[in-house]
Amino acid sequence: MKMRIAIAVLDGFLAITALAGATLVLPSLPTSMLAGSVFPDFLVPGLALGVLVAGSAFVATAAVLLRPKLGAALAMISALTIVVFAVVEIVTVGYHWLQLAYIVLGLAIAALGFRVWIGEGGYIPSLGDHGRHHPASQG
């Protein structure tokens, strides 16, 4: 239960700060920051941050408390979204220490999500176990 609460707190923090970034921070930035990138303005990054990152984190926050196995999987997805977003941001506008902090946050959420997933009976297939769990291969 402690890991689920930790995921809920971390994903809740991610959801709130991502939504704030999408609605308050990105609209106030000069579009000149995007010069030379594939983005003409902050619309697509704002939608990615507000809908994908914040949305997945909000859903994972609730799900991990109500349906632990599903919530753990959703937490790992939300972790992936913030890590990918931060890496794209670094490539697009350059490095800032907050990006590294959010990458670390994403990795922490992913690790906790994985622990809860395994603890709740989540299955991870092994590449070396071909046929071991298949009834036809037991003799």
Q: Answer whether residue 129 is part of any domain.
A: no
Euclidean distance between CA atoms 60 and 68, whole angstroms: 10
Indicate whether 133 pLDDT > 60: no
Total domains present in the chain: 1
Q: Answer whether residue 56 is part of any domain.
A: yes
Q: Answer whether residue 59 is part of any domain.
A: yes
Residues 1-19: tens digit of each pLDDT: 899 999 999 999 999 999 9
Q: Could you list the residue range(s) of the whole structural domain that residue 91 is in?
A: 2-121
With bands split at pLDDT 50, 70 and 90, how would you rate the model's confidence at 78? very high
Q: Answer whether residue 131 is part of any domain.
A: no
Q: Answer whether residue 138 is part of any domain.
A: no
Residues 13-60: tens digit of each pLDDT: 999 999 999 999 999 999 999 998 899 999 999 999 999 999 999 999
Q: Answer whether residue 54 is part of any domain.
A: yes
Q: Answer whether residue 134 is part of any domain.
A: no
User: Contacts by 83-91 with C-beta closer than 8 Å and gap 24+?
Assistant: 83/107, 83/110, 85/48, 85/49, 85/52, 85/53, 89/45
Q: Answer whether residue 41 is part of any domain.
A: yes
Among 2-6, 64-68, 105-109, 123-127, where is mean pLDDT lowest?
A: 123-127
